[in-house]
Structure 1
């Protein structure tokens, strides 16, 4: 393993080596994720205070911070303990009071002796008709005026760390900035007029005005780009190291695909055709495919997946399609069965339910190559599962499978191509952050024949009307989902909410027609309840959010989401996509608790206006921000300290193409710019990437 370059040693020393930082302060700073001088540098001020010297407090718009030279007059100690200690002072034009609570007379006589001249800086406000400065932040003799920054940066703090401490510590860290070689493409840097790294850091920590603090200032944009570039370099290295695994060229002759096309009652959309040809091109190369197929609810991903599996079969091999749960695996089986029949290929399913002789028979057929396409759950990972010639592995719903499992599956077919499908439309900037090591195909058109879903907002006060509506719909033989709110505090509360709703609906609609699914249920019970709903035995399914992504009940035409304002937009869009899968018109009722906040209202209205998942995801990103949108659970996405994904998403795309270009020109990163990029990776703590280079 290569070791950290010496030029960075000062930035990665102990915090206590900085002047003004003792062991106690260092402990507090760790709460902010600051454990080395480097982290202080990447903790930028979020606002600033104008402390430029003014002539007088007279006429400035109060309350505000003022720095002014005063002549100190009489002291008026407080009459009762802990009361206000007032000092009369005069500036060039007017007089005002400096006020201290719990002021100690001996101390105040020393720092503000009567008759002296001092520079004071602090917040000035009007109180009972008197102008006051309470507890000034600075009180210094005139000759030390340069100690007060004309524009003082304000840092994020934590208990035990003051602004003064942060200011001093960051100044000390700035003194350690080394001169580093440039890792940014020179054309890019010139075009954007970005400063050098060290200059950008100095500027970001010594703003002259509020403009300097904005994310769009040249210094901050450059530092944000450095973060994104390091992240994209890591992903590009991961991609390059995956590509070092020799793949196998699988070239289909199209005969099986042609049979399926002939059997379909409609033509494929342009987006489907484009995605299939992107997959075919990847599979034809002798490096391993690593592609993400991103499609909105109802955009026809299953068909693209099946055509891709057929390429593997046409090339003389096998394909596997993995789903996160038994229900989804069975559903894929049902969806693919008719397609497999029209193509004349052998399709089988393997899940944890297969036992004994039946399982053995399947495994043997798989090993002989008699089963051409296998649908399964993670049971496919088990050691005794062997393929005759696995060419393509498709993984459904990415976030349920870790990268490790992607690799496990790859081992089953030493050179199998990998296609990951996700039904969650992700804004482009986020997709690049999360799946930057993959190539992305997007399905952004809907196949003909899908009916739009009517979306309406109703307040919880109208619950009885909604229940009546369900009764009418069920009388026509249709089915309904009822999603209960997510109560963050505890799953137990979630459970009572769902059970209460279940009891109320059962009382209103009759025994036996209402089912219940929630997170605490044993999987077998959950499956059984879902199966009863799928087969039409129950008319209403009450659920916490675990209505599996992808569950397909074409007969369900109403989706009620209770307390819709507590869900994320993307999640609401996913839930809504559970209806509208059949030939009948469908409705989604968003029940909210009045009064709705302004943003709550705006979010629900976006859903009412559009069914375009990508537009909804973009809105969600703008409204809720990056961190909330992905949720902390999705650890695939880095937390950036400077880069702001909502506003700087476009930089991410530039960083990605730049990182890939750099690696294409200098795969071992040993030319000058490549060596500078290695330093950047160390600077950004991208240890993974560094391991990948040293292995390479």
Structure 2
């Protein structure tokens, strides 16, 4: 069957369907109802109550009258059943509705009943003619209500027309099954054709929900199948790259590192060593809360690559973070006599040319940089390991661009934003995951409090006492891309006020519009203790490590996401002192705003905070990037349907394990659907 076979399909309607992304009849079946109207709840008029729930009333038309004057005219229709009488009232379009009623004929009214004086009435109910009042079978089914759009409206594609089209398609076409029979039986899913019938012609709400569950699973299953396929392709392409720790790695951990590794760091390094020695390409994600010691794990991993005569690259999302990593590497690795370089976008031409020559010639063993590493001019001599810090700031596409910089180098990505399980099962499901749960010894839990603007002077008194005692503090203002100028002004005004309030303290202002050397100078003064208070926008959200900073005041705290607040709080508490995070919201707080602030007070567990943040904002806002790789699921929700996602992932990965090319007879129909699906996504995941 073709779209052109649909009845009442004019050229205008065909164009409207195509503009809505519908080219084939089955794509029209995928336009699921957004809700159902249940007209089966028929209530006698005498039993009507003002419940707020829509009901159906069936009765004979007794009278119809137009009352009022000019614009206030309305149509009142009285109907009666065996128990009593009620009115239907139409304020708009009464000239049309008056033609829908004829005295002594039976009608069904569907709407919300309301009490007016002693009688009940319905305002603008839906009206259906009743042929046989003794046989009301027509009201025993659910009526689908389809989503509309501007194209449908202009082409007069009504709800009833869509319903008649789906009925026509289902009666004349047999929809092929794509899920293996074993899966259908295991989860008691209906076959695809039957599931479509149930969605568009449901007999009960439960039946339609069961069918929808099948389609949610199908979305998850095809995506997880593609992720399993991606991983399988990468493994098959990158055999033989065996890396073992050598003298540099051993010297770093045994002689240079001034502290002992935590159990979590040891476990993560153990996973990495196993990957690097397996002969297969490593694709591993290290998750650890702020301050868990991921950088040390990354340095150890890069040294293994250098020990084997290869180069390593560490990429960070901001220049400040890249500079911080570079300084850390410099501090630890200078005694080993290694050549490491910093590559950022703001460097002068001569310096940049020198760095690029170093990288291409192979004399640069470790390069630390920002997005600048992605540029075409950057050519590695022999890249063996790529490390991406704060992975959520980049996304899948950029992660794959990094892999193209070498001959399938090993990949290590790190995230200080704990990743909820549902996200880990989708955009990160092609990665193996290690979690560093413990924190370095000696760190005290950060105390968090909310203070209002009325309590500001008390907060400043506390800040003054702490500075006298030798502590340092951050005062952070929000930075929102759409209003960067406004927020920068906000931070600048705050900076000026603090200078007047603390005339004897050294206060600096840091923001993203400053030149790299200017930012570096400000941070250097803060790190060395010369600056007592650093006023900043969110550029200090990640990476900056100042052990003596023990106070953080976050202005307009309700504007931040939960994960962002948690990241900011992680900038303090790096030393042995008791640290304090003070959240100062505006006077008007939304329900979500109050929830976020309370969650910050109640817990410091990054994973709990991340789960709560994901539920509040949804996956798109949580990731904050179009290039994240998060699929646009049409029916499924990775938060609400997490258990279904887990089932789909297990099933998909088991299939790829035993039949990576879907050649078995039981996977023949699945291959027909999966082939085009995967082809669309392969290039995005770097395996096209």
TM over 0.5: yes
Aligned to 1:619: 612
Deviates more, 1:34-43 or 1:224-233: 34-43
Deviates more, 1:492-501 or 1:177-186: 177-186
Task: Report SS of the residue matched to 2:48.
Answer: coil
Task: Report SS of the residue matched to 1:558.
Answer: strand
Deviation at 1:225, TM superposition (A): 0.9
Instruction: State which of 232, 246, 251 in structure 2 corresponds to 1:259.
Output: 251
Aligned to 2:510: 517
Aligned to 2:69: 80
Instruction: State which of 214, 218, 237 in structure 2 corresponds to 1:222.
Output: 214
Indicate if the aligned counterparts of 1:247 and 1:415 stay in contact, CA closer than 8 A: no
Indicate if the aligned counterparts of 2:224 and 2:426 stay in contact, CA closer than 8 A: yes
Indicate if the aligned counterparts of 1:348 and 1:373 stay in contact, CA closer than 8 A: yes
Give per-residue Cα distances to partners, 1:70-99, cap 9 Å, x unaligned: 221122222412422112221121011122
Distance 2:350 2:199 in 1: 69
Task: Report SS of the residue matched to 1:645.
Answer: coil
Distance 1:599 1:382 in 2: 40
Q: In structure 2, do the counterparts of structure 1 residues 635 and 73 end up closer, same or farther at CA, with 3 Å as the change threshold?
A: same
1:246-645 correspondence to structure 2 within 5 Å? 246-263=238-255, 264-341=257-334, 345-352=338-345, 366=359, 369-381=362-374, 385-401=378-394, 403-486=396-479, 490-510=483-503, 513-521=506-514, 525-594=518-587, 596-631=589-624, 633=626, 635-645=628-638
Distance 1:236 1:561 in 2: 42
Q: In structure 2, do the counterparts of structure 1 residues 407 and 633 end up closer, same or farther at CA, with 3 Å as the change threshold?
A: closer
Deviation at 1:665, TM superposition (A): 2.7
Task: Report SS of the residue matched to 1:516.
Answer: strand
Q: In structure 2, do the counterparts of structure 1 residues 357 and 97 end up closer, same or farther at CA, with 3 Å as the change threshold?
A: closer
Does residue 105 of structure 2 align to residue 116 of structure 1?
yes
Name the count of aligned residue pairs: 679
Distance 1:25 1:635 in 2: 36
Indicate if the aligned counterparts of 1:247 and 1:417 stay in contact, CA closer than 8 A: no
Q: In structure 2, do the counterparts of structure 1 residues 124 and 472 end up closer, same or farther at CA, with 3 Å as the change threshold?
A: same
Give per-residue Cα distances to partners, 1:517-558, cap 9 Å, x unaligned: 334545554444444434444322222322241112222211
Distance 2:624 2:355 in 1: 40
Indicate if the aligned counterparts of 1:318 and 1:389 stay in contact, CA closer than 8 A: yes
Aligned to 2:46: 58
Deviation at 1:575, TM superposition (A): 0.8
Deviation at 1:173, TM superposition (A): 2.8
Q: In structure 2, do the counterparts of structure 1 residues 352 and 593 end up closer, same or farther at CA, with 3 Å as the change threshold?
A: closer
Distance 2:681 2:423 in 1: 20
Does residue 177 of structure 2 align to residue 151 of structure 1?
no
Distance 2:620 2:401 in 1: 29
Indicate if the aligned counterparts of 2:320 and 2:543 stay in contact, CA closer than 8 A: no
Deviates more, 1:242-251 or 1:79-88: 242-251
Q: In structure 2, do the counterparts of structure 1 residues 31 and 96 end up closer, same or farther at CA, with 3 Å as the change threshold?
A: farther
Distance 1:75 1:274 in 2: 80
Indicate if the aligned counterparts of 2:395 and 2:628 stay in contact, CA closer than 8 A: no
Task: Report SS of the residue matched to 2:442.
Answer: coil
Q: In structure 2, do the counterparts of structure 1 residues 690 and 565 end up closer, same or farther at CA, with 3 Å as the change threshold?
A: closer
Indicate if the aligned counterparts of 1:622 and 1:646 stay in contact, CA closer than 8 A: yes
Deviates more, 1:392-401 or 1:40-49: 40-49
Give per-residue Cα distances to partners, 1:384-429, cap 9 Å, x unaligned: 6554432111122224445454444434432321212222111011
Distance 1:680 1:256 in 2: 50
Q: In structure 2, do the counterparts of structure 1 residues 108 and 406 end up closer, same or farther at CA, with 3 Å as the change threshold?
A: closer
Deviation at 1:562, TM superposition (A): 1.6
Indicate if the aligned counterparts of 1:662 and 1:674 stay in contact, CA closer than 8 A: no
Give per-residue Cα distances to partners, 1:565-621, cap 9 Å, x unaligned: 221111111111111112322111111234544443333222222222111111222
Does residue 79 of structure 2 align to residue 89 of structure 1?
yes
Does residue 197 of structure 2 align to residue 202 of structure 1?
yes
Deviation at 1:430, TM superposition (A): 0.8
Q: In structure 2, do the counterparts of structure 1 residues 174 and 78 end up closer, same or farther at CA, with 3 Å as the change threshold?
A: same
Deviation at 1:446, TM superposition (A): 1.8
Give per-residue Cα distances to partners, 1:6-29, cap 9 Å, x unaligned: xxx75xx58xx6556767777888
Indicate if the aligned counterparts of 1:20 and 1:165 stay in contact, CA closer than 8 A: no
TM-score with structure 2 setting the length: 0.87
Distance 1:147 1:542 in 2: 69
**Contiguous gaps of at least 5 residues in structure 2:** none
Task: Report SS of the residue matched to 1:425.
Answer: coil
Q: In structure 2, do the counterparts of structure 1 residues 592 and 552 end up closer, same or farther at CA, with 3 Å as the change threshold?
A: same
Indicate if the aligned counterparts of 2:396 and 2:628 stay in contact, CA closer than 8 A: no
Indicate if the aligned counterparts of 2:107 and 2:127 stay in contact, CA closer than 8 A: no
Q: In structure 2, do the counterparts of structure 1 residues 329 and 516 end up closer, same or farther at CA, with 3 Å as the change threshold?
A: same
